[in-house]
A and B are shown apart, each in its own frame.
Chain A
């Protein structure tokens, strides 16, 4: 008994498991049981990397033009019906992760816990911890129904650490007949190009918010980020306003970042944003409003106009 058979759904991007997925495999290993990983797409391409982090088996689902969520959930259900009995299924808090766990939740009659940042075994059950109210309160919730327990985790909850294992064995799992729920089809895939370090991996992140005034001023954020070899980010407000793509968004509904330095420019610090960046080692904030909540967590706060401070800062850095 206990938690001995763990499944992890891994998100694959650019042919490799995301760091958020490798974190989960690393954490899954600590329960001391077997770790199998599910991927949507090519299993052979990621079997080596996943094995290195402790997975012994990869279930690969070729979903074709179907959406990954309903396809993988149906394949998991069929595999469980076929005799597999996972105790815990871990998902990254990603688009596909949430879709797979939601569909599977209904198929298995099991609830879900999402936005978790930690998990531990409690007898034959597990307890997951989730930050609420912008992270100032931690709620631990224990599953009371039967296994398998379904939990999704925010990125950067654990440190990915390789265990040096051999490549995982790959088992292809076909998608069962999806009926009406499988009638949505992908007709084209678009990859948004980004240059410089990735937002969630950069050592320095410079983010802009509504305080920039207008879309054209976001160029200052990009310039500053480039000068500091960092990545540009954004608050939800300016993503919603269409100034920058969604992939720039830092926050509860965007990316969670933990750089060495986070520079918030013209961002007041809504809870939704703070959740995504308060784990940064050092925070610099520039904002006109001295009452802005962002100053409550900033190591260095400048009460001033970004239109005046940023050009001078950029000039000073360029002259170094």
Chain B
């Protein structure tokens, strides 16, 4: 069984984000890392291929500046190869264009039995790209899956709903988006990290994939204003001396909550 995982390389969330003043896009200079949300999908893919007794896990990603640091993390976990779409023309691409690009990259790999993505990225969190990819490729999909297995060539998943969850079955090929915590991602081993350095990363442009127009030119949107939100001021901060619970009680009484 072959699985393709859509992964995003993002600025380290530990550092405060910033907008590039000239383009109004998120600054992505410097080292990018594998979005932690995607590590669950990579792990899920590796486990499903292992359970199927054969096949491989491939990656598709879109990033500026030929960035591969995040891809190498996923390759070190055990993925076999990657297609990286890196093209300055992609700056400003909207969610629909992103989905078309990733769908084309998936097709460049010849498709797969299963395509896995996170429910949303940790930096842009649009949350529609996986389902858009499924529609571009004409595939069935199970989004927000929190438990996944494949039995007799059929995908079974528990899909998160507002009220609980639905059990869903789906024939392959299919696309799923998985929630964080669906599996425990492995840490890359030293051997894996070394092996990842020589695994193939096929770098292509939007034109190579035949997707036009892209970037701001293809976007159905433009940023019209950026403003600072009203900041929330910090109040009183006190060190606990064993009696601060009384402060909380007084505070709650003042609000007439108790």
Contact = CB atoms under 8 A, between A and B. Distances in A.
Contacts of A312: 242, 245
Given A181-B138, A187-B168, A228-B258, A137 B96 contact: no
Given A189-B166, A302-B247, A143 B221 contact: yes
Given A99-B143, A181-B138, A309-B244, A142 B128 contact: no
B168 A184 contact: yes
Interface in A156-186: 179-186
The binding surface of chain B is classed by DSSP as mixed
B26 to A, nearest CB: 8
Given A102-B135, A253-B119, A313-B249, A303 B239 contact: yes
A11 B231 CA distance: 32
A305 B236 CA distance: 17
Given A204-B257, A284-B251, A316-B249, A142 B168 contact: no
B171 A183 contact: yes
B96 A109 contact: yes
Nearest to A180: B138
Nearest to B142: A184
B99 A106 contact: yes
Given A93-B127, A204-B257, A246-B160, A180 B239 contact: no
Given A67-B142, A204-B257, A301-B238, A188 B160 contact: no
A140 B245 contact: no
Interface stretch (B13-21, B58-66, B191-199): B13-21
A80 B52 CA distance: 43
Contacts of A113: 221
Interface stretch (B67-75, B76-84, B106-114, B222-230): B222-230
Contacts of A185: 168-170
Contacts of A30: none
A318 to B, nearest CB: 11
A171 to B, nearest CB: 24
Contacts of B130: 102
B162 A94 contact: yes
Given A183-B140, A204-B257, A304-B239, A138 B226 contact: yes
Contact of A142 (B143, B224, B245): B224
A309 B245 contact: yes
A145 B219 CA distance: 8
A111 B220 contact: yes
19 contacts: A13-B163, A67-B159, A70-B141, A102-B128, A102-B130, A106-B135, A112-B95, A135-B229, A181-B138, A183-B171, A184-B142, A185-B170, A189-B164, A190-B167, A203-B257, A239-B181, A240-B180, A299-B251, A303-B240
